[in-house]
Structure 1
Amino acid sequence: MRTLLILESLYLFFFLTLLSTFPIALSRSHFDLERGDSISVEKKSDFITSPDNTFTCGFYGLGTNAYWLAIWFTNSRDKTVVWTANRDRPVNSKGSKATIRRDGAMVLTDVDGTVIWQTNTTTTDVAKAQFLNTGNLVLKGPKGEILWQSFDFPTDTLLPSLKFTKNTRLRSAMRKGSFESGYFNLYFGSDNVLRLISDSPDTSTTYWPNPDFTIYVNGRTNYNSSRIAVLDDMGRFLSSDQFRFNASDMGYGIKRRLTMDHDGNLRVYSLNNSTGLWAITWQALQQPCNVKGVCGKNAICVYAQEPKCTCPPGFEVSDPNDWNSGCKAKFDQLLLNSRRVKFVEIPHTDYYGFDLNTTTGVTLEACRDMCLNDFRCQGFSYRLLGQGFCFVKSALLNGYASPDFPASIYIKVPVNVETSKPDIFHASSLTCGSSEADIIVGSPSMYDFNSRRVRWVYIYSFVAAFGAVELMVISLGWWFLFRKHGVPASVEAGYRMISSQFRRYSYSELKKATNNFKEELGRGGSGIVYRGILSNRLVAVKRLGDIFQTQDEYFAEISTIGKINHMNLVRIWGFCSEKRHRMLVYEYLDNLSLDKHIFGSNFLEWKQRYAVALGTAKGLAYLHHECLEWVIHCDVKPENILLDTEFQPKIADFGLAKLSQREGPGSEFTRIRGTKGYMAPEWALNHPITAKVDVYGFGVVILEMVRG
């Protein structure tokens, strides 16, 4: 009995000892820091988490010896950082720590004790630091009042419930994978309008909302001076200037963030809890090259399959690892003050702003002489739209190239500088200089041109003569135009419009990529889909039927997809228009179309069926309500719902889509569209066609998913 009592006493002693040490082991992984507590960079276990474990606050390292006091998403794969205290001054990997001092301030010190960052609270009333489920790090008083909060000092990210006001600003990182402050900002301007601005060492330029339009045309108002905006938990963004949007996956239960990205675009990201990866569910600019200054001084932004930067002839990249530094001249800029210069033409290109003067009704030669006679001129832009428009440039900033831009930029360089023009719209990789340029040489006499330098005169003459012949014999002209270009001029205009977003492939490229159209993936009323490989990437190539039967569908599909972006809509990489050949190049989805999984033996599980139904509904909701145009798909069926590796659905085949302005009455369809069995009664009853026809088709798909 005595022995038993001794053993019980020992057990009790060890239990109490363990219990006394237990709070110490947990103190750094809880969500409170008391006065006097600190977090050390050397102890990997020193961090605090939000009560629901969504966010973590602690030291975040990059490289071998650079650390930041940061807040990040705990469950994201890359531990995505949403706030940093010392974004421009990293601390050492040894000896650095963050401490709640006795005077109430939270202080970050480096290895030598230098104060790198501290809160602006020096009141002794601070009781503790607390980390909230919203991702907000706060200092509280003894009664629970907030004396300081990280939400008042955001870096590049706006979290739901963070109120964005006139006193706050989101500033991008300098580059991907960096915390250093960059040049792009989201802020409320003095006119009460929420804006994006490029604030580089060279210039400050507002680029969103569209600076070419007035406040009201952009759908904003400047009458509300409260200047406040917020992203709520459902994915809705509301601003006092009447700007608002919804994330494409709007709804509760999804972790989101609004980030001012390093490329100058403002985006909403949604977290996939199962993979830890982020998906873009909204972005401010569909065309990334509309970001002013994204490529730096003298550089040109070109949108091929993705936006890229390139240098004009006579220039080279300043820093290959940082396009914000732009391009530098290969020559002494003082040489431009002499008349021994030439002008290198870059078609379909412009540099936004910095016009010394704007002149109308002038010839190309007169525009060139204006630049030649002004030592401040770096180049000029000239466009011929009924009459000549001349823009003389004092600086080459905000460069942008687009196939449908109706002008050329002429850059002034010394006559002895070797120049070449990059094939910016067709090159697989954009580098500085690859092919010969059209050059105009400046000289005292405006008529001192050789035959090569006046090539444009013959081009204009040929176009005029051709137009006259076409007017005289319109039918023959149409036939000739069709044989020469393969499509009518209106469709060619559409191709030029979307070429800034998609790549145009030749028929021979796609024939080789598909091994002479050997492996068929599926077929439907609009064409046959083949498996192919382009640039070591699997693609699906849809070969459309005869041009006279599918031309409208082809143009509608590429135009529609060019205007929308959603995680549940299939992405198109490019197209082919060559003679009678009409093809589309899509992303390849591993699990093919939904019909393969509901009419075959490898039937989807109930959880997968639910995910497919939900994703398809989100995609259709985006088409009907969220994108810039009101889109009716008109042919919702399992064959047009593709599945990726994780069986996430993507709606495809917009060739039967109907576009109209959301506010407009819309025009009636001229013929029945869709697939039997999925077509709503409106088609047969000749009733007005609305988005409900897609809902009907979606309902039939749901029934098939349930019944098989």
Structure 2
Amino acid sequence: MRRHILAYLNLFLLLNLLSSFPLSSSRSHFNLKRGNSISVGEKSEFLISPDNSFTCGFYSLGTNAYWFAIWFTNSRDRTVSWTANRDRPVNSKGSKVTIRGDGTMVLTDVDGTVVWQTNTTTTDVAAAELLNTGNLVLKNRQGEILWQSFDFPTDTLLPSQAFTKNTRLRSARRQGSYESGYFNLYFGSDNVLRLISDSPDTSTAYWPNPDFDIYRNGRTNYNSSRIAVLDDMGKFLSSDLFQFNTSDMGYGIKRRMTMDYDGNLRVYSLDNLTGLWDITWQALGQPCNVRGVCGRNAICVYAPQSICTCPPGFEVNNANDWNAGCKATFNETLLNSLQVKFLELPHTDFYGFDLNATNPTTWETCRDMCLVDFRCQAFSYRLLGQGFCFIKSALFNGYASPDFVASIYLKLPNNLNASKPDLFHASSSSCGSSEQEIVVGSPSMYDFNNKSVRWAYIYPFFVGLGAIELLLILLGWWFLFRKHGIPASVEAGYNMISSQFRVYTYSELKKATNNFKEELGRGGSGAVYKGVLSDDRVVAVKRLGHVFQEEEYFAEISTIGKINHMNLVRIWGFCSERRNRLLVYEYLDNLSLDRHLFGPNFLDWKQRYVVALGTAKGLAYLHHECLEWVIHCDVKPENILLDSEFQPKIADFGLAKLSQRGGPGSEFTRIRGTKGYMAPEWALNLPITAKVDVFGYGVVILEMVRGVRVCNWVVEEEDRNEAAITNFVRRIKEEMQCGRLDWVESVVDSRLGGGFSRNQAAALIRTGICCVEEDKNKRPTMASVVQTLLECEQENDG
């Protein structure tokens, strides 16, 4: 009953909002025949998709500028998905779109100037239609498509719209504008899907992580087809092996992937009830990782939200467009003829444009190098055991973070009154933002920016609307927490993750699992059951034991929700009702690794190596690339799942712990894990770090090579007091030192019948031995393990 009341109230709000915008007399139809036209004006016409989800016609952001565009009919702000010649609007009077007799669709301005036209020059064109997918097409009489807007995207990719080597998404210049911006999604010449900042000053790729090579980013450049697509389920697949699922994965939801004005690539999902958009995936969690988001000489800083600011001695060029950056308040050309000083900006750097990089060196030497070089605008100095000096010829892509260990020293006139700034309490505009936003509900891409609007009349309306929305939110929270009895200490955690995951009721999951009938596995944190959701998705439902406390439960959800990697299991939702706590994961066809390693139907060598490498990539992501530092703490074959193509995905983060890098919580001592895979520091009650995962991974890959569980390894009679893994490592090291040529063959699973790569097997054995060193400081990092295995990936000498 309460749910219905809330639904009606939201519908009432939506109708009131829509009624606040005057509707002109218009006509809509499903096609535009050859020889006909659509004109701007009070009686303008629209093309409507058969399911009424998309509209095509003339769209205005002001009083006189119109664009021929396609937009989402049911979104509150009529969000645009495609525009014809976005950089050239037409006049409000006399402009029109016509299908000429030669089959060309033409947009003309009031004076007859051709602003845009299709590349079709055939009399076979019969009509233009707008499909349910949002695709504007020109068809012949046989229904064949001769031209489509899907081949010429602007800043948005729609589900089922192929993204190819011939297309790119280009951001808008600023919020509330259609003008082409500087940020692009495209396939590079190396066949990898990339984000690039392509400003007039510089071009800089910033996603995937430019500090890593292709393979460390989980991509491949071997597939030259260069194609990607977002499907109707919310799953994105690319030929470079990049893939992800939206947090609300399922059918029946209108979505769009947009290259946003702030340089981030996001997927939005439409809430049909409110007409607002929710972010269900984004490429970058840290806005300052977008290179060029703040422009030349500007700095992106978290204070605590990401903002753009100018350093001392500089002022903003255009407060409404931070892409324009900052300009010097002094004459830079005369700087070297004046007395100069260097002003320190702590925890700050500018990416690239290094005239010189020297190490080791002293701060004084670094300063003098900048002083005598007329091209030097600043220098960066880092003291990491030894001094690192970077002389900067230009100041692009500036960023500041308390975690960054270096400082930038600006070269300024001696008579300039400037002091060391506190960047982390700066006051300036949000990164990539052109104006302060007032967002009602979820954030959306475009806002109306009509300068002729009488704000004195609209302010009271929005104040009243905001008050009603706030009242609804408070009522919803009151009903929710009163019904389920969730303690106040957990409300913050729920608020953080509730917009990112689907919340399931206990009855839904009970029905989906047929009363938890089919058990897939059981671990220390609970049992996992197979289920089928109402949208026919097959899922794995993890039922957590009662011992799992609220704070642990929400810690697990928040951890998994931040993670997106091809070798890690995704979570689709959760349930928390009284003492029932469940997690809903993606279901993987081939279940866990142990079922395909120790039984009669075992993996061949090639599959084993793929699993070893993929698992290493997943752990490396957890340890080195996550925004948080994630330790799994229970790496074993049962927690490595295999999809339909036997690609590995690491599961069970119920034992994971989060810890800030280098902070006081970077180590913990609570003993958890599985015997045989637990590092020695567990038993010795020593501080626990990511090296416990390295140890567990080492045991796993040695088991993969041998095809036998470590608990079943035979210990020689005289060494019965020695652990099996310790005995194995000692024996193999002795054989290697003695120069035995068959030491690899003596270890590899005999069931393979010699069908394996000797070089790969040797690499896995050596890596495994290094990983299980008793001294954790001698164990490698997972990033170095990935690099080692990649070097042998193409070996095929078996």
CA contact (8 A) 1:634 1:658 kept: no
Distance 2:71 2:656 in 1: 54
CA contact (8 A) 1:424 1:430 kept: no
CA contact (8 A) 2:632 2:653 kept: no
Where do 1:611-630 residues align within 5 Å? Answer: 627=564
Where do 1:559-570 residues align within 5 Å? Answer: 567-568=500-501
One-letter code of the match for 1:188? F
One-letter code of the match for 1:41? V
Name the SS for the 2:159 alignment partner: coil
**After the TM superposition, which of the residue ranges 135-144 and 323-332 deviates more from structure 2?**
135-144
Where do 1:213-612 residues align within 5 Å? Answer: 213-338=212-337, 340-427=339-426, 529=489, 567-568=500-501
Any idea what the Cα deviations from partners look like across 1:346-377, whole Å, max 9, x if unmatched?
Answer: 00010000101110110111001111111111
Any idea what the Cα deviations from partners look like across 1:473-492, whole Å, max 9, x if unmatched?
Answer: xxxxxxxxxxxxxxxxxxxx
Distance 1:282 1:38 in 2: 39
Say if 1:344 and 1:277 are closer, same or farther in 2 by CA, change over 3 A. Answer: same
Name the SS for the 1:425 alignment partner: helix
What residue is the counterpart of 2:121 in the other structure? 122
One-letter code of the match for 2:302? Y
Distance 2:322 2:416 in 1: 23
What residue is the counterpart of 1:207 in the other structure? 206
Distance 2:417 2:33 in 1: 67
What residue is the counterpart of 1:107 in the other structure? 106
CA contact (8 A) 1:31 1:50 kept: yes
Please report how far the alpha carbon of residue 125 of structure 1 lies from its aligned counterpart in structure 2 after TM superposition.
Answer: 1.4
Any idea what the Cα deviations from partners look like across 1:25-48, whole Å, max 9, x if unmatched?
Answer: 999412211011111111444111
Please report how far the alpha carbon of residue 338 of structure 1 lies from its aligned counterpart in structure 2 after TM superposition.
Answer: 2.7
Name the SS for the 1:195 alignment partner: strand
Structure 1 residue ranges without an equivalent (≥5): 1-24, 433-520, 531-539, 543-556, 571-593, 596-609, 643-653, 672-682, 690-708
What residue is the counterpart of 1:38 in the other structure? 37
Name the SS for the 1:230 alignment partner: strand
What residue is the counterpart of 1:448 in the other structure? none
What residue is the counterpart of 2:183 in the other structure? 184
Where do 1:39-78 residues align within 5 Å? Answer: 39-78=38-77
What residue is the counterpart of 1:89 in the other structure? 88
CA contact (8 A) 2:133 2:158 kept: yes
Any idea what the Cα deviations from partners look like across 1:119-159, whole Å, max 9, x if unmatched?
Answer: 11121111111111110111112222211110010000000
Distance 1:636 1:132 in 2: 38
Say if 1:272 and 1:37 are closer, same or farther in 2 by CA, change over 3 A. Answer: same
Say if 1:665 and 1:175 are closer, same or farther in 2 by CA, change over 3 A. Answer: closer
Say if 1:138 and 1:637 are closer, same or farther in 2 by CA, change over 3 A. Answer: closer
Distance 1:26 1:426 in 2: 51
Say if 1:328 and 1:364 are closer, same or farther in 2 by CA, change over 3 A. Answer: same
Please report how far the alpha carbon of residue 637 of structure 1 lies from its aligned counterpart in structure 2 after TM superposition.
Answer: 4.0
One-letter code of the match for 1:328? K
Name the SS for the 2:52 alignment partner: coil
Distance 2:138 2:573 in 1: 55
Percentage identity across paired residues of the two chains: 68
CA contact (8 A) 1:631 1:659 kept: no
Q: How many residues align?
A: 488
CA contact (8 A) 2:103 2:120 kept: yes
Name the SS for the 2:370 alignment partner: helix
What residue is the counterpart of 2:660 in the other structure? none
Say if 1:422 and 1:633 are closer, same or farther in 2 by CA, change over 3 A. Answer: farther
CA contact (8 A) 2:309 2:428 kept: no
Any idea what the Cα deviations from partners look like across 1:613-658, whole Å, max 9, x if unmatched?
Answer: x9x999988965864677999997447999xxxxxxxxxxx9x997
CA contact (8 A) 2:502 2:574 kept: no
Say if 1:397 and 1:304 are closer, same or farther in 2 by CA, change over 3 A. Answer: same
Task: Considering Cα pairs closer than 8 Å and 6+ residues apart, tell me whether 1 or 2 has the greater RCO.
Answer: 2
CA contact (8 A) 2:379 2:390 kept: yes
Distance 2:203 2:99 in 1: 39
Please report how far the alpha carbon of residue 416 of structure 1 lies from its aligned counterpart in structure 2 after TM superposition.
Answer: 1.1
Where do 1:647-658 residues align within 5 Å? Answer: none
RMSD between aligned residues: 4.3
CA contact (8 A) 1:154 1:169 kept: yes
One-letter code of the match for 1:88? D
Name the SS for the 2:124 alignment partner: coil
Name the SS for the 1:324 alignment partner: helix
Distance 2:351 2:485 in 1: 45
Structure 2 residue ranges without an equivalent (≥5): 1-23, 432-480, 507-533, 543-553, 582-627, 641-648, 658-671, 679-798
If the length of structure 2 is used for normalisation, what is the TM-score?
A: 0.55
Name the SS for the 2:335 alignment partner: helix
What residue is the counterpart of 2:545 in the other structure? none
What residue is the counterpart of 2:156 in the other structure? 157
CA contact (8 A) 1:339 1:372 kept: no
Say if 1:231 and 1:95 are closer, same or farther in 2 by CA, change over 3 A. Answer: same
What residue is the counterpart of 1:651 in the other structure? none
Distance 1:199 1:670 in 2: 39
Name the SS for the 2:279 alignment partner: strand
CA contact (8 A) 1:632 1:657 kept: no
Query: Within the alignment, does 1:168 sit opposite 2:193 as a pair?
Result: no
CA contact (8 A) 2:206 2:291 kept: yes
If the length of structure 1 is used for normalisation, what is the TM-score?
A: 0.62
**After the TM superposition, which of the residue ranges 188-197 and 421-430 deviates more from structure 2?**
421-430
What residue is the counterpart of 1:198 in the other structure? 197
Say if 1:163 and 1:670 are closer, same or farther in 2 by CA, change over 3 A. Answer: closer
What residue is the counterpart of 1:705 in the other structure? none
Distance 1:632 1:156 in 2: 28
Name the SS for the 2:327 alignment partner: strand
Say if 1:659 and 1:196 are closer, same or farther in 2 by CA, change over 3 A. Answer: farther
Distance 1:102 1:633 in 2: 52
Distance 1:373 1:367 in 2: 10
Any idea what the Cα deviations from partners look like across 1:668-690, whole Å, max 9, x if unmatched?
Answer: 9699xxxxxxxxxxx9x99999x
Please report how far the alpha carbon of residue 64 of structure 1 lies from its aligned counterpart in structure 2 after TM superposition.
Answer: 1.1
Distance 2:49 2:197 in 1: 34
Distance 1:569 1:665 in 2: 19
CA contact (8 A) 1:623 1:630 kept: no
Name the SS for the 2:284 alignment partner: coil
What residue is the counterpart of 1:437 in the other structure? none
Say if 1:541 and 1:105 are closer, same or farther in 2 by CA, change over 3 A. Answer: closer
